[in-house]
A and B are shown apart, each in its own frame.
Chain A
């Protein structure tokens, strides 16, 4: 997977800081950003910071990964409902597959996502991890 520098660069803000959009018409939190609200079609969307905490809605373990992700397998991917109502798809790290469950509380963390060979871009972005409850 050859990713050009501009293609990576233009997503940095959104991937590094979890920036989405708020629809001024229907109030939906939209991620990733869009020209039109996917729910009501409104064109007035304002940038907003997404919640960094959420709850696992469903999850899986990728045993046979696509090209570029081999070194991380097996890894957990989950559908997460953020506390602001938006849903996000993300890897969940710092967890064993046996510890995964629907309803698990998770928080965003900043991680390496993939590498483009030995001389290409090293891509970073969000992944989520379980919230360790204080005793």
Chain B
């Protein structure tokens, strides 16, 4: 295994890009990333995407994007792990460079959700779950999170105000973020007075629907930011078969492996991009990454520890909630954002003196978890 570095990152704003196609979005981010990277040619392309098959009836995105980017002849593939497609694609690209097989690889995460109606998007997201026995019940991804939310409140006596604080703080952080879909403040009161999406989860506790693309170039040639570790883990696919549904085992496994591989402890992490597709998933993630005791994550957040100037800044550009969640691209956005923080390129969202940053990306209700740790050199 040899060291892997970030050579360049680029993002498109997350929005409803009516005028841009899946291909246009991916090209916009990829071309910018290539322009920024000072490397000699690319050896491989990984396209992270979740919904292309149903939202655009488009598969074979590896060859399609290689063609669009003038990379004819290159090995190229689509990586799909539901909402964790982005993080898992970064992991695959990391393996390719670390192993010595390729020197420079391009990862582009892209999702175009506004091509479909909201109920079609919900059906696509529910494809992260077993179709015969989970999606079959009519439950949505938010609905599954709602089951965890109620259990969490009951067991740990947590208040909705504490759980929803994650969304409010994420929105605070998105103010001034140029690529965020919702860069404005929303109070906890407003969040908790929005309609119920799936009781007890309010609409404003859920990430929205957006289009976007993010691109990263990984290289063996050196750089200012090193990929200190990259790790992926899975958990029981059925929530019903997990010993304790409030423990996200995939998050524990992936993060413990990542800390060990980077030779750090969780205390060494200066900032975190969390997978907060719903507030509760962000809260449970924070706990299982090791930053709060089980049952105390929501309180830790509500006390303000995760604000930009706090003990552990999280979702420094707004997270999935406020930056946006173009599902298959999200994990690539997160890693790109951590790199931007460490390079001092975060603009108004800059966290001071950060050396180590972590990105956590989930597929389904944490059936897959990817953890990427970046370190400034």
- A residues with a Cβ closer than 8 A to B are 1, 11, 30-32, 38-39, 57-70, 72, 75, 77-79, 86-91, 97, 102, 113-114, 125
Give complex CA distance A68, B139 in Å: 12
List 4 A-B pairs, minimum CB-CB distance, nearest first: A60-B146, A87-B240, A69-B138, A66-B123
- Known A-B contacts: A60-B199, A62-B139. Give 18 more (CB < 8 A): A31-B240, A32-B130, A38-B236, A39-B241, A58-B154, A59-B147, A60-B146, A60-B200, A63-B196, A63-B197, A66-B126, A77-B139, A79-B147, A79-B245, A87-B241, A89-B134, A89-B240, A102-B150
- B119–A65 CB distance below 8 A: yes
Give complex CA distance A88, B139 in Å: 13
Residues 135-157 of B, flagged 1 when their CB comes within 8 A of A and 0 if not, give 11111101100111011001000
- Partner pick for A65 among B132, B140, B147, B200, CB 8 A cutoff: B140
Verify if B120 is at the interface (C-beta below 8 Å from A). Answer: yes
- A66–B119 CB distance below 8 A: yes
Give complex CA distance A132, B135 in Å: 28
Determine the interface band of chain B, counting residues with CB < 8 A from chain A.
35 or more
Verify if B133 is at the interface (C-beta below 8 Å from A). Answer: yes
- B138–A91 CB distance below 8 A: yes
Give complex CA distance A97, B201 in Å: 14
Nearest residue in A to B199 (C-beta to C-beta)? A61
- Partner pick for B150 among A11, A58, A64, A97, CB 8 A cutoff: A58
- A72–B195 CB distance below 8 A: no
Question: Known contacts A67-B123, A87-B240, A102-B150: does B138 contact A62 (CB below 8 Å)?
Answer: yes
Verify if B198 is at the interface (C-beta below 8 Å from A). Answer: yes
Question: Known contacts A58-B147, A102-B150: does B136 contact A113 (CB below 8 Å)?
Answer: yes
Residues of A contacting B196 in the complex (Cβ-Cβ under 8 angstroms): 61, 63
Show 7 residue pairs from A and B whose CB-CB distance is below 8 angstroms, ordered by the A residue: A32-B133, A58-B148, A60-B198, A63-B198, A64-B119, A77-B139, A113-B136
Give complex CA distance A90, B138 in Å: 9
Residues of A contacting B199 in the complex (Cβ-Cβ under 8 angstroms): 60-61, 63, 97
Residues of B contacting A30 in the complex (Cβ-Cβ under 8 angstroms): 241
Nearest residue in A to B241 (C-beta to C-beta)? A38
Residues of B contacting A60 in the complex (Cβ-Cβ under 8 angstroms): 139, 143, 146-147, 150, 198-201
Give complex CA distance A62, B200 in Å: 10
Residues of B contacting A61 in the complex (Cβ-Cβ under 8 angstroms): 196, 198-199
